[in-house]
Amino acid sequence: MITRRNLLAAAAGTAAFAAILPRMAFSQEITEKSVFYDPDAPVLGNPKGDVTVVEFFDYQCPYCKKIHPMVEKVVREDGNVRLVLKDWPVFGGASIFAAQAVLGAAQIGKYEPAMEALMKTTGKLTEEEVEKALTSTGLTMQEIAAAVNKHSAKISGLLDRNYSQALAFNFAGTPSFVIGRTTFAGVLDEKGLKGAIAEARAA
Amino acid sequence: MRFFLSASCFLATIAVSAVALAIETPLPMDQAFRMEAGRDGSDIAIRWQLEDGYYLYREYLSVTGVGGKPLEMATPPGVIKEDPGYGSTEVYYGTATATVAGPVTGSLNVTYQGCQDGGLCYPPTTVEIDAATLEPKSDTGKSGLQTALQSQAAFPLVSKAPKAADSSSIRISDQSTNGVVGSLLDRGGVLFLIVGFLGLGVLLAFTPCVFPMYPILAATLTREGESLSTGRGFALSSTYVLALAAAFSLFGVVAAWWGQSFQIALQSTTATLLVAAIFVALALSSFGLFELQLPSFLRNRVAAHRGGSLMSSAALGFSSALVIGPCVTAPLAGALLYIAQTGDVVLGATALFALGVGKGIPLILMGTFGSGLLPRAGQWMERVRQVFGFLFVATAVWLVDRLLPAGAGLLLWSVLAITFAVFIGAFDQMRPEAGGAARLAKSAGMLAGLYGVILGIGGLSGATDPLKPLATIAAARSGDATPARVIGKDSFQSIASAADLSSLLKADGPAAPTLVYFTADWCVTCRVIERSVLPDATVADALDGVRLVSVDLSEITEANQSLMKELQVVGPPTMLFLDRDNQEVQDTRLVGEITADTVTVSASSAKGQLR
Predicted confidence (pLDDT) per residue in B160-186, tens digit = 333 333 333 556 665 544 466 767 777
Rounded to whole angstroms, how far apart are CA atoms B90 and B83? 11
The whole-number pLDDT of residue B478 equals: 57
Q: How far is CA B61 from the centre of its chain?
A: 45
pLDDT score, position B201: 85
Between B559 and B549, residue with greater pLDDT? B549
**Residues B365, B236 within the same domain:** yes
Q: Give yes or no: residues B189 and B295 share one domain.
A: yes
CA distance B583 to chain A (A): 11
Whether B286 maps to a domain, the answer reads yes
pLDDT digits (tens, 9 = 90+) for B466-498: 777 787 777 666 554 444 567 777 788 888 888
> Using one digit for the tens of pLDDT, what is the confidence trace for A66-90?
899 999 999 999 999 999 999 998 8
Nearest CA in chain B to A152: B158
- pLDDT, residue B11, reads 66
B120 and B184 belong to one structural domain: no
Whether residues B229 and B268 share a domain: the answer is: yes
Q: What percent of chain B has pLDDT over 90?
A: 5
**Shared domain check, B567 and B509:** yes
Specify the higher pLDDT residue, B611 or B190.
B190
Query: With an 8 Å Cβ cutoff, is A21 touching chain B?
Result: no
| B192 lies in the same domain as B263 | yes
Instruction: Looking at the complex, report in whole angstroms how far the Cα of residue B337 sits from the nearest Cα belonging to chain A.
Output: 13
Question: Which carries the bigger pLDDT value, residue B281 or residue B77?
Answer: B77
- Interface with chain A: mutation pick from B59, B112, B158, B566, highest number of A CBs within 10 Å: B158
Residue B234 lies in a domain: yes
Nearest residue of A to residue B12, measured between CA atoms: A14
Is the pLDDT at B301 greater than 50? The verdict is no
Interface of A with B in 121-160 (CB under 8 A): 122-124, 127, 131, 141-142, 144-146, 148-150, 152-153, 156, 159-160
State the pLDDT at residue A55. 95
Mean pLDDT for B517-523 is 80
Last residue of a domain, one of B375, B396, B428: B375
CATH label of the domain that carries residue B48: 2.60.40.1250
Closest CA to B600 of B544, B520, B531, B518: B544
Domain boundary among B342, B375, B408: B375
Above 70 in pLDDT, residue B610? no
- What are the distances in angstroms from CA B371 to CA A81, B224, B234, B321, B366? 74, 10, 9, 23, 7
Q: Which residues of B361-399 are buried (b: 16+ CB within 10 A; e: fewer)?
A: bbbbebbbebbeebbeeeeeeebbbbbbbbbbbbbbbbb
- Give the span between the Cα atoms of B96 and B107, in whole angstroms: 21
Total domain count for chain B? 3
In a domain? residue B163: no
B184 in the same domain as B87: no
Q: Please check whether residue B310 lies inside any domain of the structure.
A: yes
Q: What is the rounded average pLDDT of the residues B352-363? A: 88
- A-chain residues near B15 (CB < 8 A): 6, 9-10, 12-13, 181-183
Segment B563-574 shows an average pLDDT of 80
Cβ contacts (< 8 Å) between B145 and chain A: which residues? 23, 167
Region of poorest pLDDT, from B297-311, B326-340, B415-429: B297-311
**Residue B409 confidence class, pLDDT cut points 50, 70, 90:** confident
A181/B86 touch (CB, cutoff 8 Å), yes or no? no
Q: What type of residue sits at position B157?
A: L
Whether B479 is in a domain gets the answer no
Q: What is the mean pLDDT of chain B?
A: 75
Query: Given B355, B375, B395, which residue is the final one in a domain?
Result: B375
Q: Kindly report which listed range (B292-306, B565-579, B592-606) carries the lowest average pLDDT score.
A: B292-306
* CATH (domain of B493): 3.40.30.10
CA–CA separation, A203 and A198 (whole Å)? 9
Q: Is pLDDT of B574 > 60?
A: yes
Alpha carbons within 13 angstroms on the beta-carbon side of residue B422 total 8
For residue B241, being part of any structural domain is answered with yes
For A23-32, write each residue's pLDDT tens digit.
Answer: 333 344 677 8
What pLDDT is recorded for position A75? 95
B573 and B529 Cβ atoms separated by less than 8 Å = yes
Beta strand B15-16 pairing with A182-185? parallel
Which chain B residues contact residue A101 at CB under 8 A? 157, 161
With contact defined as beta carbons under 8 Å apart, do B241 and B363 qualify? yes
Most confidently modeled range among A75-84, A171-180, B532-541? A75-84
Per residue in B366-408, pLDDT tens?
A: 888 876 666 555 666 677 777 778 888 887 887 777 677 767 8
Interchain contact, A127 vs B160, CB within 8 Å: yes
The CA distance from B420 to B418, in Å, is 5
What is the pLDDT at residue A73? 94
Give the structural domain span for B52. Answer: 29-149
- This model of the complex carries an ipTM of 0.77
Domain match, B220 and B358 both: yes
**B513 inside domain:** yes
Q: Calculate mean pLDDT across residues B293-319.
A: 60
In a domain, B411, yes or no: no
Are residues B19 and A5, on separate chains, in Cβ contact within 8 Å? yes
Which residues of chain B neighbour A17 with C-beta distances below 8 Å? 9, 11-12, 14
pLDDT at B124 (0 to 100): 82
Domains of chain A and CATH, by start? 4-202 (3.40.30.10)
Instruction: State whether B89 and B203 are in the same domain.
Output: no
Query: Do B137 and B226 reside in the same domain of the chain?
Result: no
**Do A181 and B13 count as a contact with CB atoms less than 8 A apart?**
yes
How do A81-87 and A51-57 pair as beta strands? parallel
The pLDDT of residue A112 is 93
CB contact under 8 A, A187 and B120: yes
Q: Is the pLDDT of residue A194 over 90?
A: yes
Based on the fold, state whether residues B101 and B216 are members of the same structural domain.
no
Cα of B77 to nearest chain A Cα, Å? 18
Stretch among A98-107, B173-182, B341-350 having the lowest mean pLDDT: B173-182
pLDDT computed for residue B170 by the predictor: 56
Give the tens place of pLDDT for each residue, A107-151: 999 999 999 999 998 878 888 889 999 999 999 888 888 888 888
A151 Cβ neighbours under 8 A, 6+ residues apart: A103, A104, A107
Q: What is the pLDDT of residue B400?
A: 79
Residues B214 and B351 in one domain: yes
